[in-house]
């Protein structure tokens, strides 16, 4: 049980004592000179876990996606991705600004492009048309409520892209949540993608950092782009040390977060005015709709009221749309915290 129940994101997780210890003891060097042994160790462990030849430690998931997109493409190309993807919605148009690429968002049912959708989106050779340079997939999918696609689904999409000579990038910010939920090694999901970014600082609890895993050639290119965007971090081993603990100690426990998310969703589904189908909750994200009973039209006021009244009860939740709330479970949320959140939701909605 925690004083504040913070369900706004798994990015809010605090480093464990073991991480702080590892950070304090980390052997470091200048990573721009490729002389930081702890960064190198993290990159090697990450690459091995993802079944790729090399890894690159970056400051954030956003930076990982950006250097990947820029490394795969050249200016003037088009990047096919899902309309609700993080790259399209929340990365401040970095791919367009830094990479000079055009994004081609496609509306999907569960957040995952189907092979047919990719086939339709690929551009024919024509003097008027930007050539397709990359296809991006997000797994688990954030805005679709932590949904997972299987390694076979990733493979089917990648096959279409690869047949056309187009590479695939996987935004696997929460790939280990997918791996734990579907009981498959993370490398199964990564196998079909040419690059993968995953985050150490979400459910895995590290304070900072993500890793891009790919071929040696792509990682070498990404290393240059990382430098260009100011991501050469010198004695970054103090951060990588926490990342190693995250990878080695924090993956299996993600199953607890998934169980807590399911419990939260089941409780929410019983409350009037809140709507979620718990069966759709596969990992640690619960997105629910708010519709105050009897109210005609969208319950925007009810949504902000719920957020504010929860905050007054030390339960922090986040509105991701006018009538939708996202709750994310993580290592700093236990079963009692879930009960406290449900009590708060129950008290507030009982007055509606």
Within 112-141, the residues that bind ligand TLP by CB under 6 A are 138
Q: Of 4, 9, 51, 295, which one interacts with ligand TLP (CB under 6 A)? A: 9
Choose among 206, 234, 181: nearest CA to 36: 234
Interface with ligand TLP includes 60 (CB under 6 A)?
Answer: yes
| Stretch of 42-50, 55-63, 241-249, 334-342 lying at the interface with ligand TLP (CB under 6 A) | 55-63
Task: For residue 251, give the 3-state DSSP assignment.
Answer: coil
| Stretch of 57-65, 74-82, 157-165, 304-312 lying at the interface with ligand TLP (CB under 6 A) | 57-65
Quote the CA–CA distance of 289 and 327 in Å, as a whole number. Answer: 12
Quote the CA–CA distance of 313 and 333 in Å, as a whole number. Answer: 15
Residues 6+ apart with CB under 8 A from 147: 110, 111, 112, 140, 141, 280, 282, 283
Q: Of 173, 246, 287, 338, which one interacts with ligand TLP (CB under 6 A)? A: 173
User: What H or E segment, with its residue span, contains residue 106?
Assistant: strand 102-106
| Smallest distance from ligand TLP to CB 300, Å | 20
Interface with ligand TLP includes 311 (CB under 6 A)?
Answer: no
* Closer residue to ligand TLP in complex, CB, 229/271: 229
| Smallest distance from ligand TLP to CB 320, Å | 8
Positive or negative, the CA dihedral 313, 319, 325, 327 is negative
φ, ψ for residue 327 (rounded to 5)?
A: -120, 135
Interface with ligand TLP includes 329 (CB under 6 A)?
Answer: no
Whether 203 contacts 210, CB under 8 Å: no
Beta bridge partners of 288: 325
Q: Of 71, 117, 142, 329, which one interacts with ligand TLP (CB under 6 A)? A: 142
Q: Count CB-CB contacts under 10 A for residue 249.
A: 15
Q: Of 13, 16, 38, 62, which one interacts with ligand TLP (CB under 6 A)? A: 62
Q: Of 11, 150, 235, 291, which one interacts with ligand TLP (CB under 6 A)? A: 11
Q: Of 2, 76, 90, 253, which one interacts with ligand TLP (CB under 6 A)? A: 90
- Residues interacting with ligand TLP, by CB under 6 A? 9, 11, 60-62, 65, 86, 90, 138, 142, 171, 173, 199, 201, 210
């Amino acid at each position: 049980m925690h004083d504040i129940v913070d369900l706004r994101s798994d990015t809010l997780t605090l480093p464990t004592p073991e991480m702080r210890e590892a950070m304090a003891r980390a052997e470091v060097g200048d990573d721009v000179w490729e002389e930081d042994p702890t960064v190198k160790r993290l990159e090697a462990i990450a690459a091995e876990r993802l079944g790729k030849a090399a890894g690159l430690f970056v400051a954030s998931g956003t930076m990982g996606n950006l250097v990947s997109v820029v490394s795969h493409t050249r200016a003037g190309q088009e990047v096919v991705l899902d309309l609700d993807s993080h790259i399209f919605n929340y990365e401040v148009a970095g791919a367009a600004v830094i990479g000079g690429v055009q994004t081609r968002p496609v509306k999907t049912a569960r957040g995952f492009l189907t092979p047919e959708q990719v086939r339709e989106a690929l551009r024919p050779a024509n003097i008027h048309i930007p050539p397709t340079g990359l296809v991006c997939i997000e797994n688990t999918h954030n805005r679709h409520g932590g949904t997972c696609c299987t390694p076979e689904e990733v493979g089917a999409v990648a096959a279409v892209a690869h047949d056309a000579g187009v590479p695939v990038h996987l935004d696997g910010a929460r790939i280990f949540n997918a791996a734990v939920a579907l009981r498959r090694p993370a490398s199964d999901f990564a196998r079909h993608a040419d690059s993968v970014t995953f985050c150490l600082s979400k459910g895995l609890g590290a304070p900072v950092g993500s890793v891009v895993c790919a071929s040696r050639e792509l990682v070498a290119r990404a290393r240059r782009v990382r430098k260009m965007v100011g991501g050469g971090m010198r004695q970054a081993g103090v951060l990588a040390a926490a990342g190693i603990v995250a990878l080695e100690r924090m993956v299996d426990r993600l199953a607890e977060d998934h169980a807590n998310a399911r419990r939260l969703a089941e409780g929410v589904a019983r409350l009037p005015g809140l709507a979620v189908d718990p069966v759709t909750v596969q990992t640690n994200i619960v997105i629910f709709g708010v519709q105050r009973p009897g109210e005609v039209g969208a319950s925007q006021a009810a949504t902000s009221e719920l957020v504010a009244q929860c905050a007054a009860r030390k339960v922090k939740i986040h509105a991701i749309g006018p009538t939708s709330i996202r709750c994310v479970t993580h290592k700093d949320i236990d079963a009692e915290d879930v009960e406290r959140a449900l009590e708060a939701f129950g008290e507030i909605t009982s007055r509606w």
